[in-house]
Amino acid sequence: MSRYRNLSLFLVLAAVWGSAFMAINAGLAYFPPVLFAALRYDIAGVVVLGYAAYVVDDPIPRGRGEWKLVAVGAVLLIAAYHAFLFIGQTDPEVTSAVASVTVGLSPVLTTVFARAFLPSERLTLLGVVGLLVGLAGAGVLAAPDPANLTAGGTVAKFLVLLAAAAFALGSVLTRALDVGMEIETMEAWSMLFGAAIMHAIAFGLGESMAEVVWTTDAVLALGYLAVFASGLGYLIYFDLLDRLGPIEINLVSYVAPVFAALSGWLVLDEGLTPNTIAGFLLICCGFALVKRATIREELRRKGVVA
């Protein structure tokens, strides 16, 4: 029963987070990027904090360990990840599918960071090869023009890659700093402090509420991202992170592009390019090499291989 529950939650998370890339691209027509991300987590943080107050005995972090965990979540999982991602997606070359596939490199990067902070993880020679294959996939996605590295969305795609790295590092550190903190409490305070950080960044970039164009589509995009992609999505994510670990749960990055491509095509009339598909396949191959032992053991448990 637990396995089916995990699978169901995994697919819901992939659908919610995959379609979030479409909602981001849709909303960026009405919001400055970092301010858009900050407003998203203003709302999500308040919603999740209210939920935490209802289900948790003490929804306030206590002690240095818990506040350190909140700081990691706020800086890496919320502020850095979303600031880089939203700015990157302002470029027309970064479609919903391209953004989600680039973020799909995070499981490979997670394994690299896990080696440093989680002693049980080790990269062998084939693991290093897998990492390089995954990075090659990111390079294929970026498709840089040597004559002009600022053309074709190269810089924007690199920013999305930085977002993936921030998320991967945050996933590992939250696991390494496990202090028994309630998921709802950690998520709520990380969102609120992450939103505050992004408001400061937005102010530094000269973004303001005067630039926001309030339309029905803008409200729908913001509401979907705040309530479903952030509130519901992160509750599912941290629940699965606790039971599956950072590497296995980040496999969601390989399923989310399917939902990102479908929603981008249906809502925004976005298309898939050969580079997007090739980059996705390379990243998948890289992860398979990095985690071949885990995959082989899982197949053996299910009787697929001897």
Q: What is the amino acid identity at position 170?
A: G
pLDDT higher than 70, residue 294: no
User: Pick from 222, 108, 100, 111: which is nearest to 157 by CA?
Assistant: 100
Between 102 and 16, the higher pLDDT residue = 16
Largest CA distance in the chain: 63
Tokens representing residue 269 in the block: 């009339």
Q: What are the tens digits of pLDDT across the range 164-217? A: 899 888 988 887 787 778 888 888 999 999 999 999 999 999 999 999 999 999
How many folded domains does the chain comprise? 1
User: What is the model's pTM?
Assistant: 0.77
pLDDT at 82: 95
Q: What are the tens digits of pLDDT across the range 113-142? A: 776 665 555 556 666 676 666 666 656 654
**At which residue do the structure tokens 């090869």 appear?**
129
Q: How confident is the model at residue 21 (pLDDT cuts 50, 70, 90)?
A: confident
pLDDT at 280: 67
pLDDT at 304: 47
User: What integer best gives the mean pLDDT of the chain?
Assistant: 80
Provide the b/e sequence for 242-255 (b: ≥16 CB within 10 Å): eebbbbbbbbbbbb
Domain residue limits at 56: 1-302
Range of lowest pLDDT (18-32, 50-64, 154-168, 254-268): 254-268
Q: What is the amino acid identity at position 285?
A: C
Q: How far apart are CA 247 and CA 106, in angstroms?
A: 9
**At which residue do the structure tokens 């997606």 appear?**
89
Q: What percent of the chain has pLDDT over 90?
A: 31
Residue 92's contacts (CB-CB under 8 Å, 6 or more residues apart) are: 153
